[in-house]
């Protein structure tokens, strides 16, 4: 297996630090629009299997050329979702398999954005299913932590825990703090704005529909000392992926943002600072969202100032295999002090990066295989969950009252 990793930011660098401890691949070419970033990620792992390159992730032709030149069998997308389609298309053109951690962007319904779906997350990618199948190539989409791990949990719950499922409810929360900052997101603010201010999607009664942002607040009690966190509806890929492979009456995604974070996002929206449309300032064109991102600290640099844990998981309700009502939370918790000490990366980016590394290992040894555009739910969950433990970061399970 030869991997072209597109993106050498926080998640891409964490990917390298995890992958360097495994032996399932021959080479990883780390590529970024800034060659220096790729070189820095390669230098950090000090592994002869890794090399650096430059690529324009907005240009499918640039991705295709580098994939061909490097002999890539798999293209791993580790950049913002706005670049999904060029990388996705470039991988197919190069005859390589493809993985990503976020899917093609949505567009709200032009007339009823908080009731009906417009273009949904991943629609552009699923529209290309026939082309990937015909080429005999696999696009494994949504295989970060979220989407990704909860999707694996959904497959596991359906196969091993439940006879019928009422709701697949992704619930993510944390108790992280960052020293010296009043506001410092632990993940890409560009992506956070995109998913939090778009209309959240819900699956129910065999259809997808939308609600206003931050709707249906609920308090969820997270495990391993994190405790109660208020969670709200957020647009996320799990809701668009799970119903395609796992039968359930309802699917939701709720994230523990907190009042302060929600207030900041609402203010950005009111001021138009969430916009990706470029405006002219003093002869220079720039998007307001990019300005916001440039003004905030890089999440990848915050690890030594962060404290606490992050939790990603899936709350499943329905009927157990014994015919009795069941309510179970499947989860994965990462402590920032552990991830910094063990890998040198903060817990949120590390938790995101471990999942595609594990998926690539399963593809390399033939445990997972397929063609077309497939989500994590399309594969056997058990080998993946066993690998998490083998990587030193086991998952957990608890019954919810």
User: Domain for residue 370, yes or no?
Assistant: no
Q: Are residues 191 and 305 in the same domain?
A: yes
Higher pLDDT, 279 or 95: 95
Higher pLDDT, 5 or 264: 5
Confidence check: pLDDT of 261 > 90 = no
Distance of alpha carbon 91 from alpha carbon 75, whole angstroms: 6
Domain that holds residue 181: 149-342+395-399
Q: Are residues 224 and 337 in the same domain?
A: yes
Q: Length of the chain, please?
A: 401
pTM of the prediction? 0.92
User: Domain for residue 266, yes or no?
Assistant: yes
400, two tokens: 């919810």
Confidence check: pLDDT of 184 > 80 = no
Please say which residue of 37, 66, 99 terminates a domain: 99
Pick from 349, 360, 400: which is nearest to 383 by CA? Answer: 360
Residue 59 CB: number of other CB atoms within 10 A?
15
Instruction: Please give the angle made by the CA atoms of 173, 178 and 181, to the nearest 5 degrees.
Output: 125
Confidence check: pLDDT of 185 > 80 = no
**The total number of structural domains that make up the chain:** 2
User: Domain for residue 218, yes or no?
Assistant: yes
Q: Are residues 87 and 159 in the same domain?
A: no
Q: Are residues 188 and 295 in the same domain?
A: yes
Burial of 258 (0-12, 13-18, 19+ CB in 10 A): middle
Q: Are residues 308 and 224 in the same domain?
A: yes
- The model's pLDDT over 282-312, given as tens digits with 9 standing for 90+, comes to 888 999 988 888 888 777 777 788 899 999 9
Distance of alpha carbon 373 from alpha carbon 396, whole angstroms: 29
Distance of alpha carbon 359 from alpha carbon 293, whole angstroms: 30
CATH classification at residue 51: 3.40.50.720
DSSP state of 388: H
Instruction: Please give the angle made by the CA atoms of 283, 285 and 289, to the nearest 5 degrees.
Output: 140
Pick from 271, 275, 268: which is nearest to 296 by CA? Answer: 268
């Amino acid at each position: 297996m030869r991997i072209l990793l597109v993106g050498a930011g926080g998640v891409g660098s964490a990917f390298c630090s995890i992958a360097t401890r495994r032996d399932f691949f021959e080479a990883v070419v780390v590529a970024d629009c800034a060659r220096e970033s790729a070189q820095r990620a390669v230098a950090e792992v000090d592994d002869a299997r890794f090399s650096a390159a430059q690529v324009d992730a907005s240009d499918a032709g640039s991705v295709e050329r580098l994939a061909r030149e490097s002999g890539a069998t798999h293209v791993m997308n580790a950049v913002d979702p706005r670049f999904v389609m060029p990388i996705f298309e470039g991988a197919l053109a190069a005859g390589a398999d493809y993985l990503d951690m976020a899917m093609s962007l949505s567009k709200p319904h032009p007339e009823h954005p908080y009731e009906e779906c417009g273009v949904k997350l991943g629609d552009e990618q699923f529209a290309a299913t026939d082309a990937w199948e015909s080429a005999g190539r696999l696009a494994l989409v949504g295989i970060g932590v979220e989407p990704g791990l909860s999707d694996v949990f959904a497959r596991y719950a359906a196969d091993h825990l439940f006879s019928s499922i009422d709701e697949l409810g992704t619930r993510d929360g944390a108790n992280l703090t960052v020293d010296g900052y009043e506001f410092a997101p632990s993940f890409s603010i560009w992506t956070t704005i995109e998913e939090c201010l778009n209309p959240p999607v819900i699956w129910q009664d065999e259809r997808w529909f939308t609600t206003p942002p931050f709707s249906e607040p609920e308090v969820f009690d997270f495990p391993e000392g994190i405790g109660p966190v208020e969670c709200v509806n957020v647009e996320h890929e799990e809701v668009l992926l799970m119903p395609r492979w796992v039968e359930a009456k309802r699917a939701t995604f709720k994230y523990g943002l907190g009042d302060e974070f929600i207030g900041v996002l609402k203010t950005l929206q009111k001021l138009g600072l969430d916009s990706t449309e470029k405006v002219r300032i003093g002869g220079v064109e720039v998007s307001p969202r990019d300005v916001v991102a440039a003004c905030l600290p890089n999440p990848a640099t915050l690890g030594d100032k962060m404290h606490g844990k992050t939790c990603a998981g899936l709350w499943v309700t329905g009927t157990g295999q014994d015919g009795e009502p069941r309510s179970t939370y499947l989860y994965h918790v990462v402590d920032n002090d552990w991830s910094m000490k063990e890998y040198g990366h903060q817990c949120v980016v590390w938790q995101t990066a471990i999942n595609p590394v594990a998926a690539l290992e399963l593809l390399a040894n033939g445990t997972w295989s397929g063609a077309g555009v497939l989500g994590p739910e399309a594969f056997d969950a058990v080998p993946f969950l066993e690998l998490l433990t083998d990587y030193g970061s086991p998952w957990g399970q608890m019954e919810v009252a």
